[in-house]
Amino acid sequence: MLLVSMTLSSMNVALPSVQRDLRLAEESLQWVVTSYSLPFGGLLLLGGRAGDLLGRRRVLLAGVAVFTAASLATALAAGPAALFAARAVQGVGAALAAPSALALITDRYAEGSMRSRALGVYAGAASAGAAVGLVAGGALTELSWRATALLNLPLGLLVCLLAPRLVAETARHRSRLDLTGAVTGTLGLGALAFALSEAARGGWTAASTWVPAAGAVVLLTGFVIRERLARAPLLPLRLFGDRSRAGAYATTLLVTAYQGVSFLFMAQYVQRVLGYSPLQAGLIYLPATLANTFLPLVWARLMGRLGGRALVALGTTSSAIGLAGLAHVGTSTEYLTGLLPFMVFTAAGAGLTFLPLTLVAVHGVESRDVGISSGVLNTLQSIGAALGIAALVSVAAAVTTGELGGAPAAGDELADALVAGYRTAFWICCGLAVLALLVALPTIGPVGRRPRGAGAPAGPSAADDTAPAPGPGTGPPAGARRERASGGEQEGPHPS
């Protein structure tokens, strides 16, 4: 998770440098991001199901190996075509690794305090990766954007060397891969990701937007029909039958939409309006992201007292307050008084929602479906961010163009027009945070909350608090093993 989140933030900071070095046209710059996001968003479901069928450690290692090799190819890219191809392979590796990483954690720890703590560390790694990517990416971009791609190599190699010794393989579930569902789902999600990226660049009425969008609707409709009829579906629709889980999925879509947009527009605002350098643009997020690296461990302990619904409500409310404050930015806003407090509110809200939404999404999921459930969550996060960016980039651009009256501008006039667009985007993000709150309250149950007066949870969850860690190449302790009837054959004991 540290590897993937670090890559996303560092490349965003490096985009202007990439454009200058490779002489990319303005309309081609978005492909630096899109060439990665298309395979990543399209293959997440397949990557999650592959972990269920083939073994999650095996798929994790394959994904990280592909990702690391593609990072080296990205750093060595001699031209735009080579860069786009390397980024696409990176997306494939990330789509294999991300669902398996979350599924391994969920599979190793039974529901209870230890799973909450483990996912708190997982959420902290995501924030730490964002912080490292922003700061290191901003600093290295001053030398060369290629150095930011090389950041992935030592961490990727470390994972490939240590995971076989420290992570036990999970049981493989014998089942046929739903190839029809895999093709229609992958193509449908890929078409949707492409349409959203084109909407951010060319608008919603452009043929390059609505044609793939229509294709995505047809393909995803066919995918849903196929999954209802298939004996061994790629995406079991029973995952959506639980109200809390369905509510967590819907809330995740909204939360990632406003989170991704708020980061993008803040990075643009401080550079284009306030005149910050790439390094300074990364450093302004450092206090908020570093705090959010450790706060998830606190949120994990609060899960037992308050439950998932209360934490999501607190998180979305905190984000709404922060985004409402950012909606008042001007052309000379002071960082310490006008930006930092509201950025902290927004970041703290993100940390509050990430952990409970993840716990609710995997709560009660059968062993055979843990990987695909993680893939669904990752897919919704990817689509939510892409949808939010596509919609609000268009809105902000329209507001800015309207302020300028279609005439070219520079200096204070351009800064005023840009600020008007950013303010509109932040207000819409605030509205999305309120909408996420309204969706979460009636749907998400108090998952993770222990009854008042209860001690540590009984059963496997309590045992996990004192269970010794597995040694190199071993599974979990024998006392922690249990057989699960999951409707499919399993090879070997299943780590709980």
pLDDT in tens, 95-148: 999 888 888 888 888 777 788 888 888 877 877 777 777 777 777 877 888 888
- Is the pLDDT score of 289 beyond 80? no
Confidence band, pLDDT 50/70/90 cuts, at residue 459 = very low
Which among 310, 292, 316 is positioned nearest to 360, based on CA atoms? 310
What 3-state DSSP class applies to 455? coil
In tens, the pLDDT along 246-277 reads 999 999 999 988 887 787 788 788 888 888 87
- 230: alpha, beta or left, given left = phi > 0 and alpha = psi -120 to 50? beta
Cα–Cα distance for residue pair 102/105, rounded to 1 Å? 5
Would you say 363 and 347 are in contact if contact means Cβ atoms under 8 Å apart? Answer: no
pLDDT classification of 406: cutoffs 50, 70, 90? low
pLDDT in the model for residue 227: 86
pLDDT at 442: 92
What does DSSP assign to residue 293?
Answer: H
Q: 147 is written with which tokens?
A: 């150095």
Of 170, 204, 112, 132, nearest to 374 by C-alpha is: 170
The whole-number pLDDT of residue 282 equals 72
> What φ, ψ does residue 473 adopt, rounded to 5°?
75, 10
Per-residue pLDDT, 475: 42
What tokens appear for 70 in the block?
């593609």
Please report the pLDDT score of residue 472 as a whole number: 38
End-to-end CA distance of the chain: 21
Q: How far apart are CA 160 and CA 320, in angstroms?
A: 40
> Of 282 and 471, which is predicted with more confidence?
282
CA dihedral for 402, 405, 407, 408, sign (positive or negative): negative
Token duo for residue 84: 């786009």
Percent of the chain with pLDDT over 90: 22
d(CA 372, CA 45): 6
Please say whether the beta carbons of 475 and 493 come within 8 A.
yes
Give yes or no for a contact between 43 and 97, defined as CB atoms under 8 angstroms apart. Answer: no
Q: For the stretch 269-286, what's the b/e string if a residue is b when 16 or more beta carbons lie within 10 angstroms of its beta carbon?
A: bbbebbebebbebbbbbe
Rg (alpha carbons) of the chain, rounded to whole number: 22
How far apart (Å, rounded) are the C-alpha atoms in residues 238 and 233? 10
Cβ burial of 205 (10 Å; 0-12, 13-18, 19+) is exposed
**From CA 448, how far away is CA 440, in angstroms rounded?**
15
Consecutive H or E run containing 252: helix 243-272
Highest-pLDDT range among 57-71, 100-114, 277-291, 460-474: 57-71
Q: What is the pLDDT of residue 2?
A: 86
Q: What is the pTM of this model?
A: 0.74
Please report the pLDDT score of residue 68 as a whole number. 95
> CA dist 2 to 173, 218, 350, 471, Å?
28, 35, 16, 23
**Can you give the pLDDT at residue 286?**
76
Tokens of 69: 């090799």
- DSSP state, 174? P
Q: Which of 165, 394, 384 shows the shortest CA–CA distance to 253?
A: 384
| Structural contact between residues 459 and 496, judged by C-beta atoms closer than 8 angstroms | no
State whether the Cα torsion 58-62-64-65 is positive or negative: positive
For 87, other C-beta atoms within 10 Å of its C-beta total: 27
pLDDT tens across 364-401, in order? 887 777 878 888 888 888 888 877 877 888 788 888 88
Over residues 151-175, the pLDDT tens digits come to 889 999 999 999 999 888 877 766 6
Q: Find tokens 């933030």 and name the residue.
A: 9
Whether 285 shows a pLDDT value over 50: the answer reads yes
d(CA 22, CA 76): 12
Long-range contacts of 154-161 (CB under 8 A, 24+ apart): 155/2, 155/3, 155/6, 156/3, 156/64, 156/65, 156/67, 156/68, 156/71, 157/68, 159/3, 159/61, 159/64, 160/61, 160/64, 160/65, 160/68
Residue 312 or 472, more confident: 312
Mean pLDDT calculated for residue range 218-233: 87
